[in-house]
Every structure is written in C-alpha cells, then in structure tokens.
Structure 1
Amino acid sequence: MVEVNAESEMSEALSGIVMDDVLSRHRRERKDLQAKIQALKKSAPKNDKKKRKEIMEEVARIESDLEKKQASELVEVEKEQQIKNQNEHQDENTNGKQQNFDDALCNGDDDEEDATGTTQRVTKAQKRRDKKAREARQREEDIRIAAEDAKSAPKAIERRAIQSKLLERQLTLHYIPSDGNCLYNAVRHQLAQKGLPTYSVQELRKETANYIRAHKDSLICYMTNPKTGFLLTDAEFENYCELLHTTPAWGGQIELKALSSILKVPIEVLQAEGPPTVQGADEFAGPSLLITYHRHMYSLGEHYNSSVPIVQV
C-alpha cells in the first residue's frame, strides 16, 4: 500500500510538472515566433509586393498553427489530469481506511493545530489533495494572466475598438481572408450586401490599374518609392500598375479612390483610431460601402475586412 501511495504522489507531481512545463514551453514558443516574424519582416522587400504577400501569408499561417497547437496541447493535458484525478479519487474512496492505517504505520501523519489550539492529524492523502488544489489554482492563475496579456495586445485592442464602432451602427465584422486581395474581396462583399452589381477580383484589379494609368497626372503626386521616398518614375509607375493588375498586390488609398470612381459609389473605411474616411462622398449618391481597416490584425501588413448587419434574434 505504501508503494501505491508513492506512485500516486509521483503521478501528481509529474502532472503538475507537465502542465508547468507546457505553459513555460508555450511562452518560449511565442517568444521565438515573434523573433521569427521580425526576421521575416526584415527579409520582405518593400517594393516587391508579391514577395511581401507571400511572407504575409506565411506569418498568418505560422501564427494560426502555433495557436491551434498550443490550445490542443492544453486541452489534452487538462483531459489527462481530469482522468487521473477521477481514478485517484475512486481509489481513495475504496482504500481510504487502509490508506490511513498504512500512513500511521509509516509515521506519515503530521500533527497540526487549528485556530482553537486543537491538534489535528493530517494524512498524506489530505496533503496530496491540498497540493493538488494549490497547483490547480496556480494553473488557473497562469491561464488568467495569459488571457489578460492577450487582451492587451495591439491586435485585440484594435479589434475591440472597431467592433465597438460597428456596434453603434448595428453592424459586426465579416472576416476576409488575408491573401493580398483583401481590399477587393471586401469591396465585392459589400457590393453583394448592397444588392449592387459585383465583379471578380481580377476584373476589379484590371479596371483599377486602367483607372490609375488614365489618371496618372492627378495621382502620381501621391505615389512614392518606399525605399527612396521620391515620386515614382515613369518606369516605376508602369511597374506599379502591372503588379496591381497581375499579382495579389495589396491596395491602399490610391486603389480605394479608383474603386470608388469605377463603381460610382462612396466607400467608407472604418478604423480603430480617428474618424472614418470616405472616398467619393461628394461625387456619388446612395449608401456607402463600409469596410474596416486593420493595422495590427496580422503581424506583417495591413488588412481590410467587410461588415454585416447584426442578426436580431
């Protein structure tokens, strides 16, 4: 019976160590991931939008993979601990009297005084239960701290701010994949929401590139080389339009202006900080397409999402 107790104590100790090790390893993995993401950022050529898009997808993938893996590991460890606790509890109920007898033979009981000065005998079984309770409280505290850290991350703060602004309009986020085409897919989703004619991503990209070419004189003053800070040369301008048309190059204010003019509809962009911006508000009537702009949703590159009305239950 003494051997059974020793095995039980070792099992409990190992269970606590396993959870602590998992949480510690998870922290190291998240820290290592951030270092890897920073290295990927530095390796992304600012003027190579195709490579930038590929790295953005890789960052999103490895972040998602790590989150899923860590969540799965925590669930598995918790399940194993629950099963062990149930089995040990059953064993204790069955062998409780014998356990106390064996504890006494081995001089394993300790005397403790309560608040009234009365001496009480504390068995090894009670010690194990107390230790288990302390470890459970510590795990809960670790999980709470991790959750609080996640809440204070820029991504979470930004998402809550945007969701709050959408809620004022009885709207909520509609997530768009991060594949370099987020602006065009967000606009396509909004067109469908408003019951307006819609187009494929490739059609929107082609028309946007053609619009920018046709309005070069009025737009070129806003288009600079990210490396030098100087206005684009004629060759750089043409390369910009070609990449826009033929690759999943990310879109910004220039593309928003072009899309608003092509579709003849205002496009409102909601963001966490500052007032919304609206393209085409003075030129076109009718309800705006409402999309959201995110600086921190993904570790590399900005992102656009769409919006949908909140379903009333």
Structure 2
Amino acid sequence: MEETETPEELLTKQHRKEKKDLQAKIQSMKNAVPKNDKKRRKQLLEDIAKLEAELNEKHEEELQQLNNNQDGEKVDLIANGVENLGLDNEETKESKQGRTSKAQKRRDKKAALEKERESRIAEAEVTNLSGFRHQERLKLAQKLAERQLQIKEIPSDGHCMYRALEDQLTARDHGHALDLAQLRALTAKHMRSHANDFLPFLTNPNTGDMYTADEFEKYCSDVEDTAAWGGQLELRALSQVLEMPFEVIQADSPSIVIGEEYTNAPIVLIYMRHAYGLGEHYNSVEPLKEAPKEEES
C-alpha cells in the first residue's frame, strides 16, 4: 500500500518548489537587465532581496500555522475519545476506515494553505491601493478614457517595448507584419548604420565617457539578440525605420511624441514607472470596453 505523505512532507515539498520557481524568476530578472547598467542592477538586487525575504516570511508563517493546526487536532482527538484504550473490534475497523479520510484531510489542508497564500496576495494588492503603482494606473486610465482607450497588458520579460509595438502594428493591419525578432533586428541595423545619431546618447556607466566603437557594437548586439530593455533611443530608431510617429503616454508627464516629422497617425504606447518589481515597463492600448449597464428595476 502506497504511503500517504504527511502534512510536513507536503509543505516541505511545496516550499522547495516555490524556492526553485523563485530562483528561476530571479535568473530571468537578471538576464533582462544589462550588466553595465549600474542603476538598474542596484534596483534589481533590492528587488531580489525583497522577493527572497517575502518568501522566507511566508514559509515561516505556513510552518507555524501547520504546527498550530496539528496541536488543535490532537486536542480534538482526545476530546472525542478516539485515543481511549477500550476500543472493541468494530471501533478498530471504523478507525481504519477513518485513515482514508485522513488522507483527504491532508489534501484539504494543502488546498487551504494554497488558498491562504492567494488570500495574502490579494491583501497585498489591497495594501498597494495607496501606492505608486495603483495611483499611476488610475491616472493613466483617466487619460486613456478621454480618448476611448484602455491599457492592454504586455508581459514583463525585457521585450515589452517591442511587444507593445508589435501589438499596435498588428492591430493597424498596415502591412507591417513584423514580429519581435524582426523589430529588434531592424532597430540594431538602423542604429549601426546611423551610429553618429545614437552614440552621443550612450555613455559608459563606469567612466562617463561616450561609448567606444566596440562598446557600441556590443550594445547593438544586445538589442538584436537578447532581452535587453528598449527605451527612447530604440523607439527613435524604429520610428525612422517605419517612418511613423510614436506617442508615449505617461501618468505624471505630458505625452512624448517621437518622429514628429511623420504625418500619419501615431502608434500609441503606455510607459509605466511602477508596473512591476523592476519598475519601468511598456504596455499597449486597445479600444475602451464599456461596462455592462445594469437593468433598471
């Protein structure tokens, strides 16, 4: 007969998986930030430390709760007389049948722990309602609503700017069937062929000097082949390649238009400073969806 795992074993297994998942997430976060970007690397280390501390605190709370639950179960068993020595054969049989229900109890307890974890996440979101992230979203939602638009979420994987542009180009259906890889390749190619336009804005974070030719080539290679985060320089390059303007909407500043020399309707992007742990993030937009009207009684 296969042995049923104890609550301690189940919880230990869950904690190991969560630690492994966190390490994978941390590695992904590290890969998304260039090593020569000291400012973002510093913020990255702070975010990683916060994530690890939160996970450790969560695990300690779950272990404490498990211990408290087990103490309570022992009291209930004694109170119900299950541990009395005068059990006859029928009671013994019922006890054996009860062991099957214990396995179910363990599964229920595991589900309860997961539900509590989700509850803590929800509470954290509520706590964050007064934070920068929520306030930023409120301001952006108001600006977009005036234009009958709303935020369309883009994954935070280092490619957000390019994915947002890909989404907008696809929605326009102007024949720009460009995917993420093509957008990155076009950006790098244009920056290489117009180095004098971009080099003055790129400096070595350690020395403050303008990039050397080798450093610039490394920068362009990262643009093309890695998940290096895209910003205003890359938007400028793509605006010139596609010959269209980009409007970047922000919560606390006026919109920025890149490529004003082009007269067609601009591609609209959302720039967020507090969207995720690493901060800066680009989202796309979509037509505002009206909330369903309540029927009058």
In the superposition, the TM-score normalised over structure 1's length comes to 0.55
Alignment match of 2:269 (pick from 279, 282, 291): 291
Aligned match of 1:47: 36
Shift of 1:311: 2.6
Shift of 1:229: 2.5
Shift of 1:145: 9.2
SS in 1 for 2:274: coil
Q: Is the 8 A contact 2:246 2:259 kept in 1?
A: yes
Q: Is the 8 A contact 1:296 1:302 kept in 2?
A: yes
C-alpha distance in 1, partners of 2:134/2:259? 31
Aligned match of 2:160: 182
Alignment match of 1:162 (pick from 132, 137, 140): 140
Aligned match of 2:225: 246
The equivalences for 1:1-313 within 5 A come to: 46-47=35-36, 149-196=127-174, 197-282=176-261, 284-312=262-290
Shift of 1:304: 0.3
Shift of 1:149: 3.5
Q: Is the 8 A contact 2:249 2:256 kept in 1?
A: yes
> Could you say if the C-alpha distance between residues 148 and 179 of structure 1 is closer, same or farther in structure 2, counting changes exceeding 3 Å?
closer
Report the AA paired with residue 200 of structure 1.
D
Q: Is the 8 A contact 1:46 1:226 kept in 2?
A: no
Structure 2 unaligned regions, length at least 5: 1-21, 63-120, 293-297
Q: Deviations over 1:17-67 (max 9, x none)?
A: xxxxxxxxxxxxxxxx9xxx9xx99xx764169x96xx69x96xx69x97x
Report the AA paired with residue 168 of structure 1.
E
Q: Is the 8 A contact 1:163 1:173 kept in 2?
A: yes
> Could you say if the C-alpha distance between residues 226 and 168 of structure 1 is closer, same or farther in structure 2, counting changes exceeding 3 Å?
farther
Q: Is the 8 A contact 1:166 1:172 kept in 2?
A: yes
Report the AA paired with residue 233 of structure 1.
T
In the superposition, the TM-score normalised over structure 2's length comes to 0.58
C-alpha distance in 2, partners of 1:194/1:210? 24
Shift of 1:163: 1.3
Q: Percent identity?
A: 43
C-alpha distance in 1, partners of 2:167/2:143? 19
Shift of 1:195: 1.9
SS in 2 for 1:295: strand
Report the AA paired with residue 204 of structure 1.
L
C-alpha distance in 1, partners of 2:183/2:124? 42
Q: Deviations over 1:154-200 (max 9, x none)?
A: 11111111111111111000000011110100001011122222311
Report the AA paired with residue 168 of structure 2.
Q
Aligned structure 1 segments of 4 or more residues deviating by more than 4 angstroms: 143-148
SS in 1 for 2:269: strand
> Could you say if the C-alpha distance between residues 228 and 45 of structure 1 is closer, same or farther in structure 2, counting changes exceeding 3 Å?
farther
C-alpha distance in 2, partners of 1:247/1:229? 24
> Could you say if the C-alpha distance between residues 179 and 144 of structure 1 is closer, same or farther in structure 2, counting changes exceeding 3 Å?
closer
Q: Is the 8 A contact 2:273 2:279 kept in 1?
A: yes
> Could you say if the C-alpha distance between residues 167 and 236 of structure 1 is closer, same or farther in structure 2, counting changes exceeding 3 Å?
same
SS in 2 for 1:302: strand
> Could you say if the C-alpha distance between residues 146 and 247 of structure 1 is closer, same or farther in structure 2, counting changes exceeding 3 Å?
closer
RMSD: 3.7
